[in-house]
Amino acid sequence: MARQLLWYGNKLFLAFFAEMLVLAKVNTHQIEPVCCGVIVCDTVIREHGTGKLSYIGCFSVIGGGQFPFQSPPFFITPMLSNLQGEIKEAINLVARVEQPGTGLVAGSGHAKIQTAPGQKIPKNEVIEISCPLVCVFPSPGEYAIVILLNNEKIGERRLTVSPMTSSPFVPPNQPS
C-alpha cells in the first residue's frame, strides 16, 4: 500500500479512500473481515440450545460418474472473524464454486449476516455460516471455492472434482 501511495501520489489517496468506504459497507467498525477457514461437508446440524455445529461427511474431493456432473446437495461453511460489534445493515455472504481460468460458476449459495437490535458480536469471535448448494461440474479438475462478503473476496480454498473410475474400496478380510 505504501509503494502505491508514493507511486501514484494523489490518485492513491482516492483509491485508498474508496477502499475504506467498501470496508465500511462490510463492517461499520472498518475492521477488515477475515475468513479463517472453509469447511465443505454433506450435512450441517446445529444443536438446539448451545448452537454448536456438527459437520457430517467433510470432504475436499468429490467424485462424479460422468460429466457434466450434478453434485448432491452439500454445504460450504466459511469461518469468519473480525465482524465485531452490532451489524445493523445485513451483510451478504456468498460462497461460490468457480472453475479457474474460465469464469464459470458451477454453483453458489448465500446467507445474510445481521445481529438482533442491541446484540453485539464479541471481539475475536469466529462465526460459522453454512450455505447449502448444488453444483454442476462440466469436467473433472480443480475448482475454487470463493467466499465473498458484500461482493468483496475474503477467502478461497480448492475443491477437487474427480471421475469415479472404480468400485469403492473394500478392506481385505471383510465381507463384500
Q: How do the pLDDT tens digits run along the chain, 176 residues long?
A: 332 333 333 333 333 333 333 343 444 445 688 999 999 999 999 999 998 999 999 999 999 989 999 999 999 999 999 887 778 788 899 999 999 989 899 999 999 988 888 888 887 889 999 999 999 999 999 999 999 999 999 999 999 999 987 666 666 775 65
Q: How many domains does the chain have?
A: 2
Whether residue 21 is found in the same domain as residue 56 = no
122, 86 contact by CB (below 8 A): no
The type of residue at 29 is H
β-pairing, 34-46 with 53-58? antiparallel
- Is there a domain that residue 172 lies in? no
For 65, the enclosing helix (H) or strand (E) is: none
Whole-prediction pTM value? 0.74
d(CA 30, CA 23): 6
- Is there a domain that residue 136 lies in? yes
Whether residue 21 is found in the same domain as residue 57 = no
Whether residue 114 is found in the same domain as residue 146 = yes
The pLDDT score that the predictor gives to residue 167 is 62
| Structural domain span for residue 23 | 1-30
CA angle 173, 58, 55 (to 5 degrees): 115
